[in-house]
A and B are shown apart, each in its own frame.
Chain A
Amino acid sequence: MKSTWRITALIAAVAASALAAVAGTASAAPAAGSQAAATTIRIWVDSVQKPAVDKIASAWGNTRGVDVDVVVKDFGKIRDDLKTARSDTAPDIIVGPHDWVGELAANGLLSPLSLRTAVKKQFPAYALDAFSYGTAVKRLYGAPFALENVGLIVNTRLAKVPTSFADFQRQALAFKKKKKGNIALAVPQGSGGDAYHMYPFFSGLGGYVFGKNRAGNFDVSDIGLANRRFLANAAIIDAWNKTGFINSKVDYGTAKDAFLKGKAAFWITGPWESSTLKQSKLRFKIVQVPANKYRSVPFLGVQGYMVTKFASDHAVLNLAKDLVANYMTSTSAQTALAGANGRFPANTVAGARVRDSVLLQFGKAGAGGVPMPNIPQMASVWAELGGAWVKSTKGSGATKARTAFTLAARNIANKIG
C-alpha cells in the first residue's frame, strides 16, 4: 500500500514539474514568435563586412521603420548554411561572390530583383551579368558592390615594368639565372593547381572556359580548354616549362614568400594582399599581364548582396529588395561596402572617387577581364583546368600541354554529362 502511494506521489511530482517546465518553454515560444512578427530583416555577412553593413542597414532601417538583424557568419559557411536553413532562422539577405549565384539560383534559394534604369547605368554590364542567371530566362539575382581581379606585381627595384610579353619573359628568365633559388615568375599553383591565378596566361593563348550562345548564356557544350586557337598555341606552354618560366611546384606560400624576400621580381596576386604589399616597403607597380597572342585578361570576381527566398516567407520581400537594389547601390553605400573589403567598388561613380593607388592599379589591371562563369557546372572545371596546368608545367616529366588540356576538356565534358 505504502509503495503504491509512493509511486503515485513520485509520478505526480514528476508530471507536475515537467508541466511547469513545459509551460515555461511554451510561454517563451510565442513571445519569441511575436517578436519575430515585428518587422525585422536578417542579413548574413562575414566579419569583414559587418561594420559597414551595420551602419548602412541601420540608416536604411531608420528611414523605413524596420529593425535590421546583422548576423556574422563564416564566409564559406554562408552558402552551405543557406541550403539547410530553417525558415524561422534563415536570412533575408546574404553577401556572396558572384560565382555562388548559379548554384543558389538553381536550388531556388534566391529571389530575382531589378534595378532602376538610372541605377543600372552606373554599373558595368559585366558586373550585372555576373550576378544574372537562368537557363530559360536570365534574371538578375544580386546587386554587386565590389570587384576584384589578380594583377602582375612588378618589383621595380629588381625589374622594369614589361612592355611586351617577350620582354616579360626575357626579364623573368634573366632574373632566375642571376642566383640559385630565384624564381622567374611567382604564380601560385602547387600540387592541386590554381586555375584562377593562371587564367591570364590561359586567356593570353586563346583559352576560355565556356562559350556563350546567341542568347548570351553560357553554353556548357562549348568547352574552350581544347579550342582550336588555344591548341595551336599549346606548344608555347611546353617552351615555358622547358625554360622554367612557369613552375607548378610553386604554391601560394612559396610564391608570396619569394616575392616578399626578393627571390622573385614578378608575382601574380590580388587585392587581398594589398596590405601585405603596402607593409612590405618594397617598391612595386601593378599592371595587367602583357598581351601574348591575345590579351591576357584575368578572371573577375564580383561580390554583392542577394535576396533569399526566405524574404517572401517572412513577408519582407519588397523591403529586402528595397535595401539591396535601391539603398545598397547608392554611391556612398558602395564606397563604404567595398572599402570595408579593401576592394574596388562596382558602382562606376563610386569607382571614380577611389584614391588608393594600389586599388586603382588593380582596377586597371582588370580591364577587359572575364567574370568567372557562375553556373553550377564550374564545380567540375576548377580541378581539371588547374590539373592540366600542373601536369604541363611541372618541370621534368611534364605532359605535353596539348595532351593535358585536351584530356581536361574531355573530362569536364564527361563530368557535366
Chain B
Amino acid sequence: MSTTVARPQPAEAPELSRGLTSRLISFFSGAVGLSFKLLFLSVVNALSIWAATLLARDGKWISVGGVLVATVAIDVVYLSPRRLVPLKFLVPGTVFLIAFSIIPITYNVNVAFTNWSTGHLGTKDEAIGKIQEATLSPPADGKSFLMAPARDADGELVLILVDEVTQTPYVGTRGGLTELPAGAVSFDEIGLIEQAEGYEVVRGPELIELDQALSAYVVPVEDGSGIRPEGLELALELKPTMRYDRATDSFVRIEGGKVFEDNGRGSFVAADGEELEPGWRTGVGFLNFRRIVQDEQIRAPFLRVFAWTFLFAVSTVLLSFSLGLFLAISLNKPGMRFLRSYRSLLILPYAVPAFLSLLVWRGLLNDEFGLINRLLPVDVPWLFDPTWAKVAVILVSLWLTVPYFFLVSLGSLQSIPNELVEAARVDGGGPWGIFRLITLPLLLVAVAPLLVASFAFNFNNFNNIFLLTGGGPPAEDQIYAGGTDILISYTWKLAFQQGKGQDFGLASAISIVIFFIVASISAISFWRSRSLEEMR
C-alpha cells in the first residue's frame, strides 16, 4: 500500500484537456497564428506612434525616444523566429510594470524636487501675464461704458462707447477717445447700441472672430489708464498698477516704486516679503526634503507618528493572523455540522466594502449615541480619547483583516501533508507540540510573504485611519498630527491642510521617505523569512 497520497484525479480529465490544448495549438500555428501576431504588433505599433505624436506635440523628446526604442524592441522580439523565446513571455509583464509602476514612481520623484503647490501651478510667462491682468484697477474716477465694436470708413476696428453715467457717446480708437455729437448713436429696445453715424457696428459671426482682437484692444486715456473691453457690451477704464521690467526680470509697483524680484523659488517677492500671485512651478532641488528635516512643526511629531504607525501595522497583522489561524484550525474539522455556514459568516466582513464598514463603525463607536456603548456596561470614549481611539482603530482593523487571514490559513492548512501530523502523533506529540513544531513552520513558509505584504499594506492603510477617526482626536500639543495619525495620513494633512492650500511637492517628498522606510522593513523581513524556506 503506497504511503504517498497522490491527489485523486478523475480519469477523463487529462485526456480531454490534452486534446483541447493540442487542438488549440495546432489551430493557432501557421498562417492563423501569424496573422494574429501581426495584428497585435500592428496595434501596438499604431498605439506607440500615436503616443509619440502626442508627446512630440508637447515637446517631451526623451519620452518620444523611449517610446520609439521600446516599440522597435518589441517588434524585434516578436518577429525573430525561434529566438528570444523567454523574452516573448516577459515583454507584456515588463511593459505593464514600466507603465504602471516605474513611470508613476519616476514622476513622483520628479515632483518632489519641484515647488508644485497652490500658487505655483503654471509657467513663468503665464504668471507674468496673469499678474499684469490681475493688477489692473479702475482708477478713482474711472468710468464704465456701454460698448459696441464697429468699423470705421477704412475698415479699422473701433469701439463705440457710451458713458453709463452721463450717456455721452464716444468713439474709441488705439489713438484715443473722441467725443461724438449727441444723437449720433441710437439704441435698440433693450438699451444696447444699435447704430452709430459714420461707423458700421459689427454683428453676428464676425463678432465672434473679433474676440481675441477685443481682448488686446486698449483705448488710451490720460494718466496711463486705458479703456478695455470686458465682454461684448461693456468697456471699463482700467489702469495698470504694476509694471514688468523685462531687463531686470522684476515687477515694479507704479505707485511707490516697490520692486518685486524673482526669488528663484517660483515667485516675485519684494524685500519686505510681500509676494505677488500667482507664482510658477519650478525646480527647487532638495528644498522639500530640507523642510521635512528642519521645519519644527513637521519634524517634532514624526517619531511619535512613525512609532504608532509601526505599532499599528505590526499589531494588526499579528493579531489578525493569530485569530485567523485559530479560527481556521478550529474550523478545519471535516464533518463538522454547519461548517460551510460558519465559514461564510466569518468571511462576510471581507466581502462588504471596507469603505462602508468603516463609516458604519464610526457611527457605532460614537460614545453617546453609538450602539457599542449602549450595549456595553461601561462607557468608553472610543473616538474622543487618544488611547481609546488607538484601541478602536486596531479592533476595527482586526475585524476587517481576520477573514483574509482565515481564508489564507485555511488554504495553507490543506497543503500540510497529513502523514507528517500522524507521524508526530505516533511519536507522542501533544496538540500544542504538533502545532508549534510541524504546523506553524510549514504554514509560515507559505504565509510569511503574505504577512510581510499585509504589514506593508497596513503601514500605509489610509482608509482605516482616515474614515474611522480622521487622524484621531486632536492632540493637545500638535498642530497636524492627531492621536491616531499614521505616516500617510499625517502626510495628507501636511500636504493639503497647510496654510495656503495644497503642496504636492512636499507630499511627494514625504511619500518618498515613507517608501524608503517601508521598503527597508519589507526587505529585511523578506531576507529573514528566507531561512524558513530551508526547512523544506
Partner of B45, one of A18, A114, A383, A397: A18
- The B interface is mostly helix, strand or loop, or mixed, namely mixed
CB proximity of B111 to chain A, nearest CB, Å = 12
CB distance A112 to B499 under 8 Å? Answer: no
Q: When chains A and B are docked, how far (Å) is the Cα of A316 from the Cα of B383? A: 52
Known contacts A116-B144, A191-B384, A326-B234; A107/B119 CB under 8 A: yes
Partner of A22, one of B46, B215, B229, B242: B46
CB distance A112 to B121 under 8 Å? Answer: no
Q: Which of A18, A115, A312, A395 has the most CB of B within 10 A?
A: A18
CB distance B42 to A325 under 8 Å? Answer: no
Chain B residues in the interface with A (C-beta under 8 A):
34, 38-39, 41-43, 45-46, 49-50, 53, 75, 79-81, 118-119, 121-122, 126-127, 130, 133-137, 144, 146, 164-165, 204-205, 207-208, 211-212, 214-215, 229-234, 236, 241-242, 253, 274-278, 297, 363, 366-369, 381, 383-385, 469-470, 473-474, 476, 479, 496-502
Q: Give A239-255 as 1s and 0s: 1 = Cβ < 8 Å from B's Cβ atoms.
A: 00000000101110110
Which of the segments A5-13, A162-170, A362-370 contacts the partner chain? A5-13
CB distance A376 to B501 under 8 Å? Answer: yes
CB distance A107 to B234 under 8 Å? Answer: no
CB proximity of B502 to chain A, nearest CB, Å = 8
Which of the segments A134-142, A148-156, A284-292 contacts the partner chain? A134-142
Which residue of chain B has the shortest Cβ distance to A39 in the bound complex? B208
Partner of A7, one of B81, B121, B214: B81
Partner of A376, one of B75, B208, B275, B500: B500
- The A interface is mostly helix, strand or loop, or mixed, namely helix
Known contacts A103-B501, A250-B369, A379-B499; A319/B208 CB under 8 A: yes
List chain B residues, Cβ under 8 A from A21: 42-43, 45-46, 49-50
List chain A residues, Cβ under 8 A from B476: 399, 407
Which of the segments A202-210, A224-232, A274-282, A409-417 contacts the partner chain? A409-417
Asked if A322 is an interface residue, CB under 8 A from chain B, the answer is: yes
Q: When chains A and B are docked, how far (Å) is the Cα of A116 from the Cα of B381? A: 57
CB distance B383 to A108 under 8 Å? Answer: no
Q: How many residues of A sit at the interface, in one of the four size bands?
A: 35 or more
CB distance B119 to A25 under 8 Å? Answer: no
CB distance B363 to A3 under 8 Å? Answer: no
Chain A residues in the interface with B (C-beta under 8 A):
3, 6-7, 10-11, 13-15, 17-18, 20-22, 25-26, 29, 39, 64-66, 83, 103, 105-109, 111-118, 134-137, 139, 190-192, 247, 249-251, 253-254, 309, 312, 315-319, 321-322, 325-326, 376-377, 379-380, 383, 387, 390-391, 394-395, 397, 399, 407, 411, 414-417
Known contacts A321-B231, A325-B231, A379-B496; A108/B130 CB under 8 A: yes
List chain A residues, Cβ under 8 A from B136: 112, 137, 139
List chain B residues, Cβ under 8 A from A407: 476
A105-B277, A249-B369 given; name 9 further pairs at CB < 8 Å: A17-B45, A107-B119, A113-B230, A249-B366, A309-B126, A318-B229, A319-B232, A376-B501, A383-B497
CB proximity of A320 to chain B, nearest CB, Å = 8
Which residue of chain A has the shortest Cβ distance to B129 in the bound complex? A108
Q: When chains A and B are docked, how far (Å) is the Cα of A137 from the Cα of B241? A: 8
The 9 closest A-B pairs by CB, nearest first: A21-B46, A17-B42, A18-B45, A108-B278, A321-B231, A108-B130, A416-B499, A249-B368, A387-B474
CB proximity of B153 to chain A, nearest CB, Å = 25
Q: When chains A and B are docked, how far (Å) is the Cα of A194 from the Cα of B130? A: 35
List chain A residues, Cβ under 8 A from B501: 103, 106, 376, 379
Q: When chains A and B are docked, how far (Å) is the Cα of A112 from the Cα of B130? A: 10
Q: When chains A and B are docked, how far (Å) is the Cα of A322 from the Cα of B231? A: 5
Partner of A318, one of B211, B366, B496: B211
Partner of A112, one of B80, B134, B164, B381: B134
CB distance B208 to A66 under 8 Å? Answer: yes
Known contacts A322-B231, A394-B384; A411/B118 CB under 8 A: no
CB distance A105 to B368 under 8 Å? Answer: no
List chain B residues, Cβ under 8 A from A391: 474
Q: When chains A and B are docked, how far (Å) is the Cα of A7 from the Cα of B134? A: 62
CB distance A135 to B277 under 8 Å? Answer: yes
Which residue of chain A has the shortest Cβ distance to B231 in the bound complex? A321
Known contacts A106-B118, A108-B277, A383-B497; A249/B384 CB under 8 A: yes
CB distance B369 to A379 under 8 Å? Answer: no
Q: Which of B134, B136, B278 has the most CB of A within 10 A?
A: B134
Partner of A379, one of B39, B119, B497: B497
Partner of B81, one of A3, A109, A417: A3
List chain B residues, Cβ under 8 A from A383: 474, 497
